[in-house]
């Protein structure tokens, strides 16, 4: 990644669960109390925020569509995440989420491109060829690949059938790869 010459014109797209916070493989992060930052996530984001002009979170959250949590609760979780990161001098420009169920008629879920296109409408300077998508699932990687982004896989117990541009254990490792 260090050979990409990443400068402040680049955008970092991040999945949430399994990248920023601990993922619940058996359910959903449905309360603020459930939201736990992954080890090295905050430290990694502090370093990455100095490298990228924009940091955008794109997350599938069908727990809302299933009625497990309300959209208001999801927004509260995201506000908690952003406030905690802000205290560490990390600005998340925006969080986009897909609350619909899988295969809904208007499906915003990754790997569909809707959240990225919405981010580009909100921030017209975003160039997908100068963007990196970081995720822990095949749908995250496919999302990035569909848009021509570089892709980074955060390793977990999730089975992934696509080959990313880079594999890392956590966001701090990604930051170190970009900075070197």
Among all residues, which ones are annotated catalytic?
Answer: 15, 17
- Listed residue (116, 122, 114) closest to 149, CA to CA: 116
Is the CA virtual torsion 81, 84, 90, 91 positive or negative?
positive
φ, ψ (nearest 5 deg) of residue 2: -65, -20
**How many Å apart are CA 108 and CA 95, to the nearest integer?**
13
Residue 99's alpha-carbon distances to 37, 106, 126, 153, in angstroms, are: 21, 11, 24, 23
> At 13, phi and psi to the nearest 5?
-100, 130
């Amino acid at each position: 990644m260090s050979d990409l010459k990443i400068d402040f014109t680049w955008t970092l797209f991040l999945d949430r669960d399994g990248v920023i916070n601990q993922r619940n493989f058996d359910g959903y992060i449905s309360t603020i109390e459930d939201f736990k930052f992954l080890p090295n996530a905050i430290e990694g984001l502090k370093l990455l925020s100095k490298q990228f002009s924009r940091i955008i979170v794109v997350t599938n959250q069908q727990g809302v569509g299933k009625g497990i949590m309300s959209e208001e609760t999801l927004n509260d979780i995201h506000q908690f995440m952003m406030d905690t990161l802000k205290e560490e001098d990390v600005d998340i420009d925006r969080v986009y989420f897909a609350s619909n169920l899988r295969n809904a008629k208007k499906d915003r879920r990754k790997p569909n491109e809707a959240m990225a296109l919405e981010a580009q409408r909100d921030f017209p300077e975003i160039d997908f060829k100068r963007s990196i998508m970081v995720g822990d699932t095949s749908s995250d990687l496919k999302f990035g690949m569909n848009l021509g982004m570089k892709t980074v896989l955060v390793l977990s117990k999730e089975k992934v059938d696509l080959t990313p541009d880079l594999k890392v254990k956590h966001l701090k490792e990604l930051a170190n790869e970009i900075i070197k």
